[in-house]
């Protein structure tokens, strides 16, 4: 297995940016990724996808949840390259404290969910995981299947939008620090990648398929750098501060720390065909809430999605917040606003 430092994951064009979050490397604002609540029960769960793979997650409920009454529920998706223990569990816990039944999940090929190759990329499988979570929640007698919402952090924002376009059972959608993995793979951040560079990346992934089908080593790309150097650009440092420090570092079983966050090179090019914002207006009249930091290096993706979405839609810029800040800095994350939004839109019939 090899890591090659290039190209196209969410973080692939980091060197092109010169001004990033002012709060990177700052442990203030209550960074608390591994938060646990005294009033919330966490239960490991597993459920099948339509592709006959098993998705693994956590179910969060308040201790005093009245199971004789059907409750509203929310599915929470983690950032690309992360697992449910990174950001998704935090959001799921905080929303469960407010009375929602919540589920965090590991995307297929990542964490504890099934799928080969490990760290593989498949936008279709990722979107299906959220619909499979709706299947699971909608068959629990303490969940109202007509009141299920979804919240995606970073790349999962795009995966949830992709799922919601063809799954009207998701009644309210929210995204936080959203990344469009298709756009960033094709164009780089701030459109810093040329068509010729894109073609070079695609050719490299295709060549790697020959290597693997002939029994050669798997190679990995993108993701978070494993070591900081004096030349590490600001975006790299921002992600490193979360994924490679005690703040947010988590290594699933059967994974080596050096490979966490890094997708396989041969599968990563599948994001080139991923266009989650096409027909985003078809989600209407179901509502979408877009949340992002006003200092986020990724704000272009939230701006694009909001511009294309139809009403009802809301856009919330969080002051002083960068992209990764909204993964775990509880004093910046607008949990009250998210609670209000889901309470207002997951209403009983």
User: How confident is the model at residue 8, as a pLDDT?
Assistant: 39
- Confidence (pTM): 0.92
Full residue range of the structural domain in which residue 181 is found:
2-345
CA 277 to chain centre: 15
Whether cis (ω within 30° of 0) applies to the bond prior to 184 is no
What's the CATH number where 300 sits? 3.40.50.1820
- pLDDT tens digit string along 34-88? 999 999 999 999 999 999 999 999 999 999 888 878 999 999 999 999 999 999 9
Contacts of 196 (CB under 8 A, 6+ apart): none
Contacts of 255 (CB under 8 A, 6+ apart): 118
User: How confident is the model at residue 69, as a pLDDT?
Assistant: 82
3-state secondary structure of 48: strand
Query: Which residue in 320, 269, 281, 276 sits closest to 301, CA to CA?
Result: 276
Alpha helices in the chain (DSSP H): 88-97, 123-138, 155-165, 181-187, 195-213, 234-243, 265-268, 299-308, 325-328, 335-345
User: How confident is the model at residue 68, as a pLDDT?
Assistant: 74
User: How confident is the model at residue 66, as a pLDDT?
Assistant: 84
User: How confident is the model at residue 13, as a pLDDT?
Assistant: 37
Compute φ and ψ for 329, nearest 5 degrees. Answer: -85, 95
CA 185 – CA 273 distance, rounded (Å): 9
Beta bridge partners of 286: none
Indicate if the alpha-carbon torsion angle 121, 125, 128, 130 is positive or negative: negative
CA 237 – CA 25 distance, rounded (Å): 8
- What six digits make up the tokens of 74? 């929310």
Segments in the chain below pLDDT 50? 1, 5-26
User: How confident is the model at residue 27, as a pLDDT?
Assistant: 54
b/e sequence 95-129, b meaning 16+ C-beta within 10 Å = bbbbebbbbbbbbbbbbbbbbeebbbbbbebbbbb
User: How confident is the model at residue 301, as a pLDDT?
Assistant: 98
- For the chain, how many structural domains are there in total? 1
CA 85 – CA 110 distance, rounded (Å): 12
CA 55 – CA 46 distance, rounded (Å): 6
Cβ(10)–Cβ(179) below 8 Å: yes
3-state secondary structure of 229: coil
User: How confident is the model at residue 177, as a pLDDT?
Assistant: 98
User: How confident is the model at residue 161, as a pLDDT?
Assistant: 98
User: How confident is the model at residue 3, as a pLDDT?
Assistant: 52
Question: Is residue 307 classed exposed, middle or buried when 0-12, 13-18 and 19+ CB atoms within 10 A define those classes?
Answer: exposed
């Amino acid at each position: 297995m090899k890591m090659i430092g290039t190209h196209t994951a969410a973080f692939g064009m980091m060197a092109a940016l010169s001004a990033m979050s002012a709060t990177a490397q700052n442990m203030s604002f209550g960074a608390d990724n591994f938060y646990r609540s005294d009033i919330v029960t966490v239960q490991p769960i597993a459920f099948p996808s339509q592709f006959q793979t098993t998705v693994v997650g956590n179910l969060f409920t308040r201790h005093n949840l009245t199971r004789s009454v059907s409750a509203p529920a929310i599915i929470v998706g983690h950032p690309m390259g992360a697992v449910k223990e990174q950001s998704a569990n935090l959001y799921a816990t905080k929303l469960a404290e407010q009375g929602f039944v919540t589920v965090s999940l590991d995307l297929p090929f990542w964490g504890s969910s099934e799928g080969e190759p490990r760290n593989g990329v498949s936008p279709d499988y990722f979107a299906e995981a959220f619909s499979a979570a709706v299947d699971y929640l909608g068959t629990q007698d303490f969940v109202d299947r007509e009141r299920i919402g979804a919240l995606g952090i970073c790349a999962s924002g795009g995966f949830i939008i992709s799922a919601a376009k063809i799954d009207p059972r998701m009644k309210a959608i929210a995204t936080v620090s959203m990344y469009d993995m298709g756009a960033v793979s094709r164009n780089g951040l701030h459109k810093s990648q040329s068509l010729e560079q894109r073609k070079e990346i695609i050719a490299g992934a295709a060549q790697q398929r020959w290597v693997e089908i002939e029994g050669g080593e798997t190679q990995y790309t993108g993701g978070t750098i494993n070591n900081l150097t004096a030349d590490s650009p600001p975006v790299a440092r921002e992600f490193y501060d979360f994924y490679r420090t005690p703040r947010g570092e988590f290594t699933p079983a059967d994974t080596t720390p050096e490979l966490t966050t890094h997708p396989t090179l041969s599968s990563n090019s599948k994001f080139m065909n991923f266009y989650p914002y096409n027909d985003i207006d078809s989600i209407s009249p179901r509502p979408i809430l877009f949340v992002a930091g006003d200092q986020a290096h990724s704000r272009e993706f939230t701006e694009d999605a909001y511009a294309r979405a139809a009403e009802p839609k809301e856009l919330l810029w969080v002051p002083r917040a960068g992209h990764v800040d909204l993964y775990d800095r509880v004093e910046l994350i607008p949990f009250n606003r998210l609670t209000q939004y889901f309470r207002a839109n997951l209403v009983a019939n």
